[in-house]
Amino acid sequence: MSTVNSSTSTSYITSSYTSGLTDLDTAQLVEDAYNIKMEAADVIEVEIDDIELQIAAYNDLLDLLETLSDASEALTSEAELDSSRDDVWVGKSAYLTSSDANTDAADIVGVMVEDTTATGSYTIEVLQTATAHKIGGDTSADKDSAAGIEGTLNLVAGDDYTATDIDVTSDMSLDDIADAINDQSSATGVKATILKVSDDQYMLVLSATATGENITFDSDGADTAVAQALGFVDEAGAYANELVEAEPAILNIDGVEITRKSNTVDDVIDGVTLYLYAEEEGTQITLDIEQDASSAYSAIEAFVDAYNDLRSFFLTHQAYTAGEGADEDAVLFGDSLLSSLTRDVYSALRFSEDSNTYQSLAAIGITLDSSNYLVIDSTVLEEAMVSDFDSVAALFSMESDTGSDDLLIFDSDGSYTGTFTVNVTVDADGTLTSADVGGDDSLFTIDGNKIIGASGTAYEGLTLFYGGDTSQSIDVTISSGLAFKMMNSLESYTNTSDGFIQTRIDRLEEQTTRLNEDVTEITEKADAYAADLVERYAAIETKLYQLELLRTQLEALWGNDDD
């Protein structure tokens, strides 16, 4: 809004011109004339205020729509390989229970599951946890004095590490030798510590960094004299003081005994990593892997909340009082853009899924109240998610199916829904050459193994991936889902570059810029006019003052004729 307005300019004129030469109130005359000139600017200022209220309302609306769009996106899934999805519909949760009421399952086993893990149930029994190999050397009365041992110590623990030579000189103490070993621990898989056995006894202890791996000192015939001198092995090469044996982990999963070197087991059940904390033979731990209904439920709640916030905005800007018109806060009352948006949002909510289970929001306990706010019946929604999670997902999210394992939905923007049969053609070498629907091969382009919907066709935005090597006809079915429909409906409004709302805001801002320029021009002309009046009235008052002085002088010379 302009920084110059009638009240500011009037105050300036009133204070900047007070001659006091005559009894004429010329300052008021100037002020009145100025205000008449500024009346047009005052009208424009009111118009600017109204437009800025509209801009603020549109910005609030844009924020609400972006929140609803984000909430919708969270409930959608990309039409791509399950291995690369991360949406709420593929999330998994793991639950552990113990057969022994006195034993906490989490004290025995920990678990992490990936989103692509198949749901299921497993019985686990930890028979033995893996341990790290530890061996001790001879005790010494001093850990800081020279040990008098000289030679090469070659050691390693496990196939994942490399046997490495460590030079030991006669002036090195136990501490020095431990430091030299630790400098190479990343290569050897062995670390060293000094154990204080008593006030005058210290022991150099070697530990394998990995469980289930033995520490060895002879690699390719290496000399073990230093290892013997330190007391780790005897003359035959056997461990002289084995503190902890290297034991593998042993567990039983559904009756199958499994042995691993580590307590982290990630190669038994696809997508599942088990962490073995304690052995508890005889205690059965049940692992249940289920859909992450909690995250999906929270995402649905966020969607409902985002819609209800938008609904409040609609109600505010549609409010009116009979006989009086729109309420003061209904800035966008009667706005065609808001009316169009309202219809599109309600149309998306009325989405109907072609399903035998859940065809609408009402079927899963989400209904509209008398004011068209969404209300969740938590009991019905929870039951729906427990009894048929996939059908709830299909109601909200994109679902796709092909009649062949050779054909996958690689990508889709949700614009296509329905069923079609794609005829895939490969050459004699099994290379994909074309794809058509009903004999029309202009509907798709081929890029390697990708079948891409051609621009301007019903299949634009859809990409298929064909991994077969024979020609075949394959049925493809794609359902967009309510959340996908909502997100796509809002895109034309929320797009920050050329969306309907941003375009309207830009146009209004351009209008305020022009109006502010008009106010500035009117104000400058009014200021110039007032300044001119000041000069004219000043000249008139000067003349009147001079005439008054002349009259006074004449009266003094000739007397007053009235006497």
Helices and strands in the chain, H and E counts: 11, 27
Place of tokens 């893996």: 130
110 half-sphere exposure, CB direction, 13 A CA radius: 7
Mutual angle of helices 500-558 and 6-16, in 10-degree steps: 20
The rounded distance, in Å, linking the Cα atoms of 563 and 561 is 5
Helices 336-349 and 500-558, axial angle in degrees (round to 10)? 160
Q: Which residues pair with 411 in a beta bridge?
A: 463
**Distance in angstroms (rounded) separating the CA atoms of residues 263 and 136:** 24
Assign a CATH topology to domain 132-244: Alpha-Beta Plaits (3.30.70)
Question: For tokens 């302009």, what's the residue?
Answer: 2
**Cα 419 from Cα 417, distance rounded (Å):** 7
Long-range CB contact pairs, 238-243, < 8 A, 24+: 239/135, 240/135, 241/135, 241/136, 241/137, 241/138, 242/133, 242/134, 242/135, 243/134, 243/135, 243/136, 243/205
**CA dist list (Å): 328 to 48, 50, 137:** 16, 11, 88
232-239 long-range Cβ contacts below 8 angstroms, 24+ apart: 232/135, 232/136, 232/137, 232/206, 239/135
Determine the pLDDT at residue 356.
Answer: 64
| Plot region of 193 (φ>0 → left; ψ -120 to 50 → alpha; else → beta) | beta
Radius of gyration of the chain measured on its C-alpha atoms: 43
Tell me, what amino acid is at 255?
G
One DSSP character per residue, 382-419 reads HHHHHH-HHHHHHHHS-EEEES-TTEEEEEE-S---EE
Q: Please count the residues of the chain.
A: 563
In a 13 Å sphere around the CA of 210, the CA atoms on its Cβ side amount to: 20
Is residue 210 within 8 A of residue 261, CB to CB? The reply is: yes
Quote the tokens at residue 140. 């010494």
Q: How far apart are CA 33 and CA 17, in angstroms?
A: 14
Note down pLDDT in tens along the chain; length 563 residues: 334 444 444 444 444 444 555 566 777 888 888 888 888 888 998 999 999 999 999 999 999 999 999 999 899 875 545 555 667 888 889 999 999 999 999 999 999 998 888 899 999 999 999 999 999 999 999 999 999 999 999 999 999 999 999 999 999 999 999 999 999 999 999 999 999 999 999 999 999 999 999 999 965 556 789 999 999 999 888 999 999 999 999 999 999 999 999 999 999 999 999 999 999 999 999 999 998 899 999 999 999 999 999 999 999 999 988 888 888 899 999 999 999 999 999 998 987 776 667 888 999 999 999 999 999 999 999 999 989 998 898 889 877 788 888 998 887 776 787 899 999 999 999 999 999 999 999 999 999 999 999 999 999 988 999 999 999 999 998 877 889 889 888 999 998 888 899 999 999 999 999 999 999 889 888 888 888 888 787 777 777 777 878 878 777 888 665 55
Residue 465 DSSP code: E
DSSP conformational letter for 98:
E
d(C-alpha 512, C-alpha 263), whole Å: 69
Q: Is the dihedral of CA 318, 321, 327, 333 positive or negative?
A: positive
Q: Which pLDDT does position 15 carry in this prediction?
A: 46
The residues facing 465 across adjacent strands are: 408, 450
Q: Is 308 helix (H, G, I), strand (E, B) or coil?
A: helix
CA 304 from centre of chain: 19
Report domain extents, the chain: 6-64+513-558, 92-129+249-291, 132-244, 293-396, 399-479
Listed in sequence order, the residues at least 6 apart from 236 whose beta carbon sits closer than 8 Å to its beta carbon are: none
Write down the pLDDT at residue 8. Answer: 42
Q: Shortest CA distance to 306 belongs to which of 161, 480, 494, 150?
A: 494
Q: Are the CB atoms for 429 and 478 separated by under 8 Å? A: no
CA distance 407 to 81: 11
- Quote the pLDDT of residue 11: 47
pLDDT value of position 98: 96
List beta partners, residue 452.
Answer: 445, 463
CA distance 31 to 7: 10
Query: Model's pTM, two decimal places?
Result: 0.70
What is the DSSP annotation of 214-250? -EE--SSS---HHHHHTTSB-TTS-BSSEEE----EE
